[in-house]
Amino acid sequence: MWTAAQLARLGKVYDHELASELGVNAETVRKERQRRGIKPLRVAAAKHRQVDRLVGKLPDVEIAARLGVSAAVVYRRRKAVGAARGEPIESPRVPRRVWTLQEARAVAVEHGGTCISRKTGSVLRWRCAEGHVFEATAHRVIRRRQWCGRCSGQVKD
């Protein structure tokens, strides 16, 4: 399976890199390289320092992909510097939407009712077409499209 061109790359590029080019696993490349007595391409010290700056901050696989080293290198550096396994960085939390009274009223009108709160807040007061007054969060009414608990039979008189 090894062509001369591929063999020439052994030890010139990282095993995992050559492996992914060839569509084989890194172990296959490592064995072939060792069989031929070729030393592995050493990860440069500068690269190690780049890895060291990120270990524990990002998942190992992400650091590996970002810096073009194998996850094993990242793993060893993480152990060496004693960093915890990095957690995926979460996307910034979107602050909870504050609904305007206009929005609340518009939704209430769709139900044939009205929003009777004078100012906006997380919990608003509503009146349905049957005259039931109830409190519900804006999120519940506007986003989840729920309405009067008594009319829907969820709340008994």
Q: Which stretch binds Zn ion (CB under 5 A): 24-32, 37-45, 84-92, 130-138?
A: 130-138
Q: At what angle do helices 71-81 and 45-54 cross, to 10 degrees?
A: 70
Draw the binding track, 109-128, toward Zn ion (x: CB under 5 A; -: no contact): -------------------x
Draw the binding track, 42-81, toward Zn ion (x: CB under 5 A; -: no contact): ----------------------------------------
Q: Name 114's Cβ contacts closer than 8 Å, sequence gap at least 6.
A: 105, 108, 126, 127
Q: Is the dihedral of CA 137, 139, 140, 141 positive or negative?
A: positive
* Distance from C-alpha of 126 to C-alpha of 132, rounded to nearest angstrom: 8
Tell me the H-state helices in 98-146: 101-110, 138
For residue 151, state whether it binds Zn ion (rule: CB under 5 A).
yes
For residue 132, state whether it binds Zn ion (rule: CB under 5 A).
yes
For residue 148, state whether it binds Zn ion (rule: CB under 5 A).
yes
Residues interacting with Zn ion, by CB under 5 A?
128, 130, 132, 148, 150-151
